[in-house]
Structure 1
Amino acid sequence: MPREPLNPTARWALTSLALSMLMPSLDTSIANAGLPTLAAAFDATFQQVQWIVLAYLLAVTTLIVSVGRLGDGVGRRRLLLVGIGLFTAASLACALAPGWIWLIGARAVQGVGAAIMFALTVALVADAVPKARAGSAMGLLATMSATGTSLGPSLGGLLMEHVGWPSIFLLNVPLGLLNAWLVYRYLPADRTARTPVTFDYVGSGVLVLTLAAYALAMTLEGFTLGLLVVSLCGAGLFIVVEKQARAPLIRLSLFADPRLSSSLALTLLVTTVMMTTLVVGPFYLSRGLGLSSAMVGLALSVGPLLAAFGGVAAGRLVDRFGARRMVPGALLGLAGGCALLALLPTHLGLPGYLLPMTLVAGSYALFQAANNTGLMAGVSQDQRGVVSALLGLARNLGLITGAAVMGAVFSLATGGPTQAPAEVIGRGLHITFAVATALMLMALILSRAKIKWGSGLAREEAGTADISSD
């Protein structure tokens, strides 16, 4: 049976959300390729310009939950407009930066705007499109996320070479103005709050410091153990604070629902493995296979581009067959792809790397569409912002953890990939993706348990409803 097409208002509303996902995703990676250019432009060291990337990621990771909860209180559309405005203004400030300290500060502010956009975009899908089209909408947002992240380095490199480094930030100004107009014109207005909004400032502060300690532990050499201890203590303090808060930032009772907690755990595990392909892939392709920089870039773009183009198709599969069926299938595909990455490249070379990556990329697109749709479908209206933000937080923590932990596994397996010979790099690839396969099998087991829990809860709710009707 053919699906009823979206009306023009819904199409433009979905376009505004797609832009809200594309812009911050693009800026997650657009500066990476130009760090040498920025170091030369500002006469800065590599460690100094690294903070141009790190400041953005830290702001997003630490604030995403707080701004998601704030959106539930003050209005998601209203706060999204604020986030787009901040992101656009900070992009202009980045382009006009007279020095690297100014640029790092502007990038941090840009990260605040990006946190708002990431946190609220998924939450606003239910307001933009009919429920029957939610899977397709989530698939489109997954496409925009993958497109932005994969396009960032190549687009940034081209703009820096032919236009100049400010252009990678000026690009956001017209896009931001267009995005703000589309959100204002086509997204439904927020419902007026009848009671004053109470925000958990103490809980937010503790969570920000806890997440900052964890993110820095994963990125700063020599401080890992101490910062991990701080983050663990912060997590314990956050639980105590939230139990006593009158209007908690996160209702801890949310995590009693196994569907939510397992969906977040699956997101963290999957993004940890996806980051592995970005950490290990460049070393294997360049040192293991001896490919040129241009060929390495092309090979690395295959996975993200397939994930981008497969997002809409994955969303349609979710709409047709349901999220519950698609999540285990996606995880099985990821586990199979990782297993093939552990086995084939050392025997088949480049084809042995690219073929499994097509399976990994397609499965990742399906997982995102299915997991996000299934999670958001069962969330109450007043909690959509914070749950969407928790989903974004799990994704960011997975990316950070993948870069640090799986990077460490690869480094230990090769004894240092920058100097290791080709055969040692191949062995390191084998060991690292064997670990990734184990993580995906763990995720598959967790997803099966999630389905059983979900079925049990559904039967329990149905029984309660029957009793109530009697």
Structure 2
Amino acid sequence: MQTSSRGALFSLSLSMLLASLGTSIANVGLPSLAQAFEASFQAVQWVVIAYLLAITAVIVSAGRLGDRLGRGRLLLAGLLVFAAACGLCGMAPTLPWLIAARVLQGLGAAVMMAMTLGMVGDTVSKERTGRVMGLLGTLSAVGTAMGPSLGGVLLSLWNWRALFVLGVPLGLLAAALAWRYLPMKEGVRPGGPFWSALGTPGLRSGLARSTLVSAVMMATFVVGPFYLSRGLGLAPGWMGLVMAVGPCVAAVTGVPAGHLTDRFGSPPMTLAGLGIMAVGALSLALAAGLPAYLGALVLLTTGYSLFQAANNTAVMRDVDGARRGTVSGLLNLSRNIGLIVGASGLGAVFAWATPDVIRATPQAVAFGLHSTFGVAVGLILLAAGIRHKY
């Protein structure tokens, strides 16, 4: 590594984890928010969507700005904005206040996501890039997957405000590590037009697959809490424990997935990950009861970890230093477009199948789960059919 290796890597890892955690930690609180603010599912759904829209709107620009002004400097600023926004979310007296604070949180997260992948080449040697990409891909999956489980624990200990207040100390810790260990050098002006970055080999197909797969994962985090609480009758604490299975699986499989990608190449590992995900989504479309749900979740998360490591490595490996932030922004943009599709589009499938989620019977909620992941299987198969150009 080129700078203080362990501290730099820990700073990047925590930044990625926090940004991804912010994507899903609020999902498990949606039933509680609906009751606290006396709002509908469609209204509280904006707590999730607002965060994703803010990220999507600025993440590519954040990546390009980091290339110009300095990626380390912009990451530090993004972490401070993120921490401040978490505090505002925790103090929200109304639902519109909370949604507005989530927009600000998403702006900070956009910078964090773009700069984290973009700074890999600034902090590690080229021989270790694949493994670090695998690690960061794992942490992205773990952060997104552990949000509902961690949120369930926080809800059982306090209330929905704890879901956001947690980000304040962790964001400040990440900012302190970034200031201490990451290079704060000035950026460079990339040559050529902005969208010429899309000419990177494998980028276009990688972005499309990332969008589709992320939509499927987000459907799990939006629909899963309702199925576990309304369909199976689990209390928030137990719901959190059930959803902790996903993060545990991602933590175990993610780093080995990076090694498998280095050994066998990105295309076969990408397809292997998609194949495992398809089996997991099909299992969710047929799931009846907690054991079946858990088994399907294990398969889906395992496949996602493998896909992330292989796809991210393929997209970023040939990017020159002047464009790392921009391409990282594009990669994260595709992911967040997918998360929006999952939260809104696949969430709409669930809402259509289960119109009155507050009074719905367990059978009606299960039907919503099955309908949603029936559509998700089709999205995964579409991703697998996209032509590889590595």
Superposition TM-score tier, normalisation by shorter sequence = 0.7 to 0.9
Contact 2:21 2:143 in 1 (8 A): yes
Distance in 2 between residues matched to 1:34 and 1:394, nearest whole Å: 25
- SS of corresponding position for 1:46: coil
Q: 2:307 corresponds to which residue?
A: 367
Q: Mean alpha-carbon deviation: is it higher for 29-38 or for 365-374? A: 29-38
Give the TM-score of the pair, scaled to structure 2: 0.84
1:406 aligned to which of 342, 346, 352: 346
Q: Is residue 354 from structure 1 mapped to residue 294 from structure 2 by the alignment?
A: yes
Structure with greater contact order relative to length (CA < 8 Å, sep ≥ 6): 2
Q: CA deviation at 1:304?
A: 3.7
Q: 1:68 corresponds to which residue?
A: 63
Go from structure 1 to structure 2 and tell me whether the alpha carbon gap of 1:173 and 1:340 turns closer, same or farther (over 3 Å shift): closer
Specify the code of the residue in structure 2 equivalent to 1:378. Answer: D
Q: 1:121 corresponds to which residue?
A: 116
Distance in 1 between residues matched to 2:308 and 2:5, nearest whole Å: 22
Distance in 2 between residues matched to 1:280 and 1:163, nearest whole Å: 23
Q: 2:21 corresponds to which residue?
A: 26
Query: What does residue range 9-408 of structure 1 map to in structure 2 within 5 Å?
Result: 9-34=4-29, 44-46=37-39, 52-95=47-90, 104-156=99-151, 158-159=153-154, 162=157, 168-190=163-185, 193=188, 250-251=194-195, 253-256=196-199, 259-286=202-229, 288-343=231-286, 345-346=287-288, 349-408=289-348
Specify the code of the residue in structure 2 equivalent to 1:440. Answer: I
- SS of corresponding position for 2:118: coil
Specify the code of the residue in structure 2 equivalent to 1:384. Answer: R
Q: CA deviation at 1:10?
A: 1.7
Specify the code of the residue in structure 2 equivalent to 1:11. Answer: R
Go from structure 1 to structure 2 and tell me whether the alpha carbon gap of 1:256 and 1:412 turns closer, same or farther (over 3 Å shift): same
Distance in 1 between residues matched to 2:55 and 2:75, nearest whole Å: 14
Go from structure 1 to structure 2 and tell me whether the alpha carbon gap of 1:34 and 1:326 turns closer, same or farther (over 3 Å shift): closer
Go from structure 1 to structure 2 and tell me whether the alpha carbon gap of 1:424 and 1:89 turns closer, same or farther (over 3 Å shift): closer
Distance in 1 between residues matched to 2:198 and 2:227, nearest whole Å: 39
Go from structure 1 to structure 2 and tell me whether the alpha carbon gap of 1:413 and 1:17 turns closer, same or farther (over 3 Å shift): same
Deviation track 1:437-464 (CA, whole Å, cap 9, x = no partner) reads: 2222221121xx21xx33xxxxxxxxxx
Deviation track 1:299-344 (CA, whole Å, cap 9, x = no partner) reads: 333224322332222222223333233111111111222233334x
Go from structure 1 to structure 2 and tell me whether the alpha carbon gap of 1:313 and 1:8 turns closer, same or farther (over 3 Å shift): farther
Go from structure 1 to structure 2 and tell me whether the alpha carbon gap of 1:160 and 1:442 turns closer, same or farther (over 3 Å shift): closer
- SS of corresponding position for 2:248: helix
Contact 2:2 2:123 in 1 (8 A): no
Distance in 1 between residues matched to 2:221 and 2:309, nearest whole Å: 21
Distance in 2 between residues matched to 1:96 and 1:285, nearest whole Å: 28
Specify the code of the residue in structure 2 equivalent to 1:77. Answer: G
Q: Mean alpha-carbon deviation: is it higher for 131-140 or for 417-426? A: 417-426
Contact 2:138 2:309 in 1 (8 A): no
Unaligned runs of 5+ in 1: 1-5, 199-245, 455-470
Go from structure 1 to structure 2 and tell me whether the alpha carbon gap of 1:125 and 1:95 turns closer, same or farther (over 3 Å shift): same
User: What's the RMSD between the two structures over aligned residues?
Assistant: 3.4
Go from structure 1 to structure 2 and tell me whether the alpha carbon gap of 1:362 and 1:14 turns closer, same or farther (over 3 Å shift): same
Deviation track 1:12-50 (CA, whole Å, cap 9, x = no partner) reads: 211110111122223334444556777898xx5536766
Distance in 1 between residues matched to 2:160 and 2:215, nearest whole Å: 31
Q: CA deviation at 1:287?
A: 5.0
Identity of aligned residues (%): 52
Q: 1:460 corresponds to which residue?
A: none
Specify the code of the residue in structure 1 equivalent to 2:339. Answer: L
Specify the code of the residue in structure 1 equivalent to 2:174. Answer: N
Q: Greater Rg, structure 1 or structure 2?
A: 1
Q: Mean alpha-carbon deviation: is it higher for 147-156 or for 325-334? A: 147-156
Q: Mean alpha-carbon deviation: is it higher for 159-168 or for 364-373? A: 159-168
Contact 2:55 2:110 in 1 (8 A): yes
